[in-house]
Structure 1
Amino acid sequence: MSAEQPDVIAGDRFAAAFNRAAAWLTRRGVSLLGSRLLEVRGRSSGEPRQTVVNLLRLDDGSTFLVAPRGITQWVKNVRALPDGQVVTVLGRHREEWVATEVTSPEAALPVLRHYLRRWAWEVGAFFPPGISAKSPDEDIVPLVGRKPVFRLTPRSG
């Protein structure tokens, strides 16, 4: 695998502008290839925090969040939740979920591959050089946990 990367990868000005535009559109009900606002309670403040994420829905109906930038504040907040309850927002539509981190390499690997297949053009810069959906397993498996994956299950009740 390529050179080590820090736990959190900051974006450049283009990435920041793209995220602001995506957030603006998502707040108004326009999804860019699965974009949603993730709303999660801050682990220190208890206040709701929102960030733009790509909601990944697989053919089998399962839904995931991947943190391509690494262990960001939203990841730390989700990990700190005792009940895993998060909300995704698209315009006025809110969906309540229970987020469960996928820590098994066998389970996370296909999700990371699918994520890269779908959004490499957008998030590829946050992965080590040369990593793609076609990379060998031994190059992607070390990213499990460093690029956290969360399975989202609809919250009942």
Structure 2
Amino acid sequence: MSTQAHYKRPGRVEVNTFHRLVRFLVRHGVSLWGARVLSVRGRKSGELRSNPVNLLTLDGAEYLVAPRGHTEWVRNLRVAGEGELRVGKRVDRFTAVELPDADKVPVLRAYLKRWGWEVGMFFDGLDAKSPDEELLAAAAKFPVFRVALT
């Protein structure tokens, strides 16, 4: 499997329980450790598609990391270049730029430090203490977008 095709599909229990719970809480204004509901236009349908995500703030910039790899929301965001992040009634529109692999290491490390307990299973043994070389070697598997709120 190429790194470009890297994708770990969520299990039924996760989608039916965890995602729904996080989505419900975030829609009602409760953000768990930076959780947001991401909405992006579908690249084929043109309809808004929504997923719970973790918004990382690092050195004054904000990032979206795709721990499951090259998911549908990633593919849609690449095409759309913009979307919305929601918490309760608050809606933040944004534009996004995908980072090159060489720039992902500090973002991946910070993401794993903050949410490794939640997403570590998708990182194939990597964690916040992994050497830079190992994070760089895996960077192509994990899309990262710098988000600019508009």
- TM-score (norm: length of structure 1): 0.88
Distance 1:93 1:154 in 2: 13
2:101–2:136 CA contact under 8 A, matched in 1: no
Distance 2:45 2:93 in 1: 21
Distance 1:104 1:142 in 2: 9
In the TM superposition, residue 11 of structure 1 has moved relative to its aligned partner by: 2.8
1:34 aligns with 2:34: yes
2:141 to 141, 146, 149: 146
2:119 maps to: 123
1:135 aligns with 2:142: no
1:94 alignment partner AA: V
* Bigger fraction of residues in helix: 2
Over 3 Å counting, the alpha-carbon distance change for 1:48 and 1:13 in structure 2 is closer
1:95 maps to: 92
2:7 alignment partner AA: V
Structure 1 gaps of 5+ residues are none
Q: What percentage of aligned pairs have identical amino acids? A: 46
Q: Across the two proteins, how many residue pairs are aligned to each other? A: 147
Distance 2:97 2:108 in 1: 15
Distance 1:53 1:113 in 2: 17
1:111 maps to: 107
- TM-score (norm: length of structure 2): 0.92
2:61 maps to: 62
Deviation digits for residues 49-83 of structure 1, max 9, x if unmatched?
Answer: 1100000012x2210000000000000001112xx
1:85 maps to: 82
Structure 2 gaps of 5+ residues are none
RMSD: 1.6
